[in-house]
Amino acid sequence: MNAPESFRTLRLLLVDDHPIVRAGLMSILSADPRMQVVGAARSGAEAVALSGALRPDLVVLDLRLPDGAGIGRIVEIKAAAPGCRVTILTSFVDAKEVFAALEAGVDGYLLKESDEEALKAALLAIAHGEQVLHPQILRLVMGQGGGALPVAGTMMHLTEAERRILHLVSDGQTNKEIAALVGLSEKTVRNQMTQVLRKLGVERRSQAVAVYVRNG
């Protein structure tokens, strides 16, 4: 029998061409008993190969790699390791890259300026099915009304509780953080967010935020 999701160690593959960055991330993340770094790659091609061989739960992917933009590897990684989730971890904020990554199905978009605890919380949330965007990335998405993201629906069918959840998501809060703020269990928040996505006719949190912005 598989261990309950909350007790599983998160298996991570790190992808960054800078040795110091890889070593720093490995040191920070390996020190957390909830996480295990199972491999590290220096290029997009190596990331795809190791994803297929190691089957990590989450790939932490830099954008600027020696063999091209990491964005082009998102689909390849997910094909090589079905069920694996992928998050961008970068120092750069470029609108075209952000929306290209979102359209490619990235599960998170984080910045290297994040502090250690925020980074670990984000990675755990992404691994548990949330789409997490750094607040700066989220503001970019909101500022462009979702850009090229396919969005649909209106908020008229949302309950007050669901609207509040969506408002907190638009502030960049994870399900765990929202649960603490509204006094609900994390599971209840997750279920309410699922209902929000269903009612809005979208699949991802970033798309729901875009609907939120477009509806004022």
Domain boundaries, the chain: 5-143, 160-214
Mind giving me the DSSP string for 169-190? HHTT--HHHHHHHHT--HHHHH
Mind giving me the DSSP string for 9-61? PEEEEEE-S-HHHHHHHHHHHHTSTTEEEEEEESSHHHHHHHHHHH--SEEEE
The letter for the amino acid at 73 is R
Signed CA dihedral, 126, 128, 130, 135: sign only: negative
Average pLDDT over residues 35-64: 95
- Domain 5-143 identical in fold to domain 160-214: no
Average pLDDT over residues 22-48: 95
The domain 5-143 is placed in CATH, from the list 3.40.630.10, 2.60.120.560, 3.40.50.2300, 3.20.20.140, at: 3.40.50.2300
Report the alpha-carbon distance of residue 59 to residue 63 in Å, rounded.
12
Judged against a pLDDT cut of 60, whether residue 4 lies above it is answered with no
Highest mean pLDDT among 30-39, 165-174, 182-191: 30-39
Strands (DSSP E) found in 102-158: 108-111, 132-133
Helix (H, G, I), strand (E, B) or coil at 73: helix
- The answer to whether the CB of 136 falls within 8 A of the CB of 161 is no
* Range name among 103-112, 136-145, 157-166 with the lowest pLDDT average: 136-145
Strand order, beta sheet including 10-15: 35-41, 10-15, 58-61, 85-90, 108-111, 132-133
CATH number listed for the domain at residues 160-214: 1.10.10.10
pLDDT digits (tens, 9 = 90+) for 183-207: 999 999 999 999 998 888 888 887 7
Report the alpha-carbon distance of residue 128 to residue 162 in Å, rounded.
20
Query: What are the φ and ψ backbone dihedral angles of 87, each rounded to 5 degrees?
Result: -125, 140
